[in-house]
Amino acid sequence: MLETSLSGTSGALLEKQADLVIGGAMSIGFNGAPLTTIAMLPVAAPSHPLVKDRKNVSELELKSHRQIVLRNTGTKREQDAGWLGAQQR
């Protein structure tokens, strides 16, 4: 079993390291079907300025703060997925 992310998932198929993958995007040249839909959910500590004493945060506000982004495990690093609006990652 392999644990991959972003282009590492399709890379495992292309490099014949896996016969079956579960991923977020369909790899060209392979058959697949959606399993479910998953919402992207930003999270922060209760003490963070974005969420302290608030219920809603706009996308514009999210862009002004640093994001922690899952790294790409692919060797070609060709996939950019998710919400990457902030300049600081």
The pLDDT of residue 84: 56
Main-chain phi, psi angles of 76, to 5 degrees: -95, -15
Mean pLDDT per segment of 10 residues, for the chain of length 89 residues? 80 87 79 85 85 81 80 63 56
What are 67's two structure tokens? 């994001």
Q: What is the value of pTM for the model shown?
A: 0.52
The pLDDT of residue 2: 80
Contact 86, 21 (CB under 8 A): no
The pLDDT of residue 21: 86
The pLDDT of residue 77: 55
- The distance from CA 50 to its chain's CA centroid, rounded to whole angstroms, is 21
Residue located via tokens 């692919």: 74
Going from N- to C-terminal start, the domains of the chain cover 1-81
